[in-house]
Amino acid sequence: MKTEKPDFTEQCLLFSGVFTLFIVLARYSSSYTGYITEDLAVRTGQFLDLVFRNPGIKQSIIGSIWFPPLPVIIRAPFALLPFTVNPSFLNNIVSSFFGAGTVLLFNHFIKAWHWDRLSRTFLLFLIVFNPFLLFISITGTDLSVFTFFFTGTVGYFLLWLKDDEMRHFTSMVFFISLMAITKVEGLFYGIILIFSIAVMLFCKKYNYSKKESYLLLSLSPVLYLLFIWSLFNWFIFGDWLYFIRGVPFHISRLSFPETFFAGTLFSLRDIFHYIYIIGAVSLFSGIFKKRISLIFLFFFIIAVPFSVFFTEPDGGYNSVFSLIPVIPVGLFMLLENTSCFCCFKKEGSIKKTRMFLLILLLLSYLFPAPLNIIRREIAGQKKSSVSSEFIQYIREFSTGNRIIVTGYKGYILTYYTGKKDNILHVFDFYTENIYRVKEPSFLLVAEPSAGKDWDGIYSRYKGIDNQGADFTLLEKKIPLWKIYRLIILK
């Protein structure tokens, strides 16, 4: 089955429309409700370190110990324009851009399955207003970037399996490669995808040379980009394996579930999300050959209990709910391939199936949101001003070669480093003031899982005070649909 020719005007209109929507909502929410994530600060800081090679300021974040380079590179051109960095406008641009890109990809895949315009428009509407996608597209995390590459990966992977065309294969490799350097989860997804490709190649009736070349073509970009990942670490920290040997990693080992081994399992759980999707698709589809279907069915059976078992109880984004943005991809595949089953071969059954799946998609909106809500007044109950406390702390301890660790949960502080002059700029989003702090040599901002023993963590690391850990947050789960109220009415 051939994909339809891309309609440039339609794509432009769709992209610009969705991008505008996201960016407006993003600006509104970040300036009004105070939802700003730390990704901006970290990535921008990394970029400035990289480009200006500032020897004084080194910063990282425990959540980003793996130090994926792509989010930094994406922000690089903007980071040279200070007005985009402050206050978080850069992040809004990036996340909205990739959010709109994700919608564009969905549109492309739906078209590949020949949906009529009306159904397509309706489904796109649901995708655009999918709370998860909306959330990540307007709050400026790297998740938006990751979701874009993940969607492309899954979509092209399935298109390649279906059509066996080289261009789908190369598109898939492109998306896998970039996904692998966007987030550490992407790295694991990438590894498992390469494994899946190897399995596919084993099952396909290709000759040895073709199998070898396809494996090389899929493996080489991922490996090369991992090399760049290491190089990126070396550029900034002078250590190729900083993400394993560096200070943040050791701290993260303590803050993550007990041991590194547990941390790895934590990531492994995410891998099963992917298998879960593929498994579900292959279960219902007639597109794969029997043997391949059985392999995926096997993974699917294992994946479900694993997914449930490892689901994070607080509903953070590293949970099974991160499936939500990829549900539509699975649905397309499912939908098209249900026609392979005899019970769906009756005339009109496709339409009914589509309706059923759309309803399912709508119901998914009632899942708990992957949000950690911080209310300003409650955060301030314990400390009169969280941010001023933080700034006071930095002012006090940031001179010389100290390492500052400050812990918090959620999206409450954002900051960025200055250029060249070893001055840390701290942005207080409550007052929208920027503070300058002279010569901090190291800044680590921890993003621990909920309720960790911060005093214990700090005391285990030599020379670190625990004063920065004193933030009080309110964590609360809300249904996803309430995000609209939050954005519009708060």
Partner 1 sequence: MEDKNEIKGQFIGDTESAKQILSARQLTVLAILIPLFIYAWFYKPDTAFVCFNFFATFFYLVFMLYKVSLIISAGSRSSPIRVSKEELDALVDEQLPVYTILVPLYKETEVLRQIVSSIQKIDYPPDKMDIKFLLEADDRETIEACKKILLPPSFQIVMMPEGIPRTKPRACNLGLSLAKGRYTVIFDAEDIPEPDQLKKSVIGFGKSSDNVICIQAKLNFYNQRQNLLTRWFTLEYSMWFDLYLPALGSIDAPIPLGGTSNHFRTDKLKELGGWDAFNVTEDCDLGIRLYRCGYRTLMLDSTTWEEACSNLRYWLPQRSRWVKGYIQTYLVHLKHPFLLLTQMGIGKVCHFHLLIGGMFFSLLINPFYWLLLSIWVLIRWQLMSAFFPPVIFMMGAICLLLGNFTFIYTSALGAAHRGYYDLVKYAFLIPFYWVIMSMGAWKGFIQLIARPFYWEKTKHGFFQTGIKKSEN
Name the minimum Å distance from CB 414 to partner 1.
23
Q: Which residues in 278-417 belong to E strands, given as ranges?
A: 403-407, 414-417
305 binds partner 1 (CB under 8 A): no
Q: Which stretch binds partner 1 (CB under 8 A): 45-53, 89-97, 318-326, 406-414?
A: 45-53
Q: Which of 17, 114, 195, 210 binds partner 1 (CB under 8 A)?
A: 210
Q: Tell me how far apart the alpha carbons of residues 136 and 221 are, in angstroms, rounded to a whole number.
A: 27
Name the minimum Å distance from CB 41 to partner 1.
19
80 binds partner 1 (CB under 8 A): yes
217 binds partner 1 (CB under 8 A): yes
CA dihedral of residues 285, 222, 67, 277 (deg, nearest 10): 0
Question: What is the distance, to the nearest Å, from the Cα of residue 58 to the centroid of all Cα atoms in its chain?
Answer: 23
Name residues contacting partner 1, limited to 159-198 (CB under 8 A).
166-167, 170-171
Backbone dihedral region for residue 434 (phi beyond 0: left; psi -120 to 50: alpha; all else: beta): beta
In which order are the strands placed within the sheet that holds 58-61? 58-61, 442-446, 403-407
456 binds partner 1 (CB under 8 A): no
Q: Tell me how far apart the alpha carbons of residues 473 and 380 are, in angstroms, rounded to a whole number.
A: 9
| Comparison of 10 and 258: residue with beta carbon closer to partner 1 | 10
Name the minimum Å distance from CB 176 to partner 1.
13
In this structure, what are the phi and psi dihedrals at residue 58, rounded to the nearest 5 degrees? -125, 125
| Comparison of 51 and 361: residue with beta carbon closer to partner 1 | 51
Q: How many other CB atoms are there within 10 angstroms of residue 404's CB atom?
A: 23
Q: Tell me how far apart the alpha carbons of residues 90 and 83 are, in angstroms, rounded to a whole number.
A: 9
Number of residues that bind partner 1 (CB under 8 A): 24
| Comparison of 10 and 212: residue with beta carbon closer to partner 1 | 212
| Comparison of 166 and 301: residue with beta carbon closer to partner 1 | 166
Name the minimum Å distance from CB 76 to partner 1.
6
| Comparison of 53 and 436: residue with beta carbon closer to partner 1 | 53
Name the minimum Å distance from CB 438 to partner 1.
22
Name the minimum Å distance from CB 80 to partner 1.
7
Q: Which of 12, 53, 264, 360 binds partner 1 (CB under 8 A)?
A: 53
212 binds partner 1 (CB under 8 A): yes
Q: How many other CB atoms are there within 10 angstroms of residue 165's CB atom?
A: 15
- For 296-314, the DSSP string reads HHHHHHHHHHHHHHT--TT
Q: Which stretch binds partner 1 (CB under 8 A): 206-214, 240-248, 317-325, 436-444?
A: 206-214
Q: Which stretch binds partner 1 (CB under 8 A): 150-158, 210-218, 319-327, 393-401?
A: 210-218
| Comparison of 213 and 399: residue with beta carbon closer to partner 1 | 213
Name the minimum Å distance from CB 278 to partner 1.
24
Question: What is the distance, to the nearest Å, from the Cα of residue 230 to the centroid of all Cα atoms in its chain?
Answer: 20
221 binds partner 1 (CB under 8 A): yes
Gap between the terminal Cα atoms of the chain:
48
Strand partners, 435: 426
- Decide: 198 and 215 in contact? Cβ < 8 Å: yes
Name residues contacting partner 1, limited to 223-252 (CB under 8 A).
224, 228, 231
11 binds partner 1 (CB under 8 A): no
486 binds partner 1 (CB under 8 A): no
Contacts of 191 (CB under 8 A, 6+ apart): 222, 271
Q: Which of 81, 216, 378, 450 binds partner 1 (CB under 8 A)?
A: 216
What's the CA angle centered on 411, arms 375 and 310, to 5 degrees? 105
Q: Which of 73, 198, 201, 244 binds partner 1 (CB under 8 A)?
A: 73
- For 189-214, the DSSP string reads HHHHHHHHHHHHHHHS---HHHHHHH
- Decide: 273 and 307 in contact? Cβ < 8 Å: yes
Name the minimum Å distance from CB 175 to partner 1.
13
For residue 435, the surrounding DSSP H or E stretch is: strand 433-438
Name the minimum Å distance from CB 186 to partner 1.
17
Q: Tell me how far apart the alpha carbons of residues 234 and 390 are, in angstroms, rounded to a whole number.
A: 30
- Decide: 403 and 442 in contact? Cβ < 8 Å: yes
Name the minimum Å distance from CB 349 to partner 1.
33
**Which chain residues interact with partner 1 by CB under 8 A?**
6, 51-53, 73, 76, 80, 166-167, 170-171, 207, 209-210, 212-214, 216-217, 220-221, 224, 228, 231
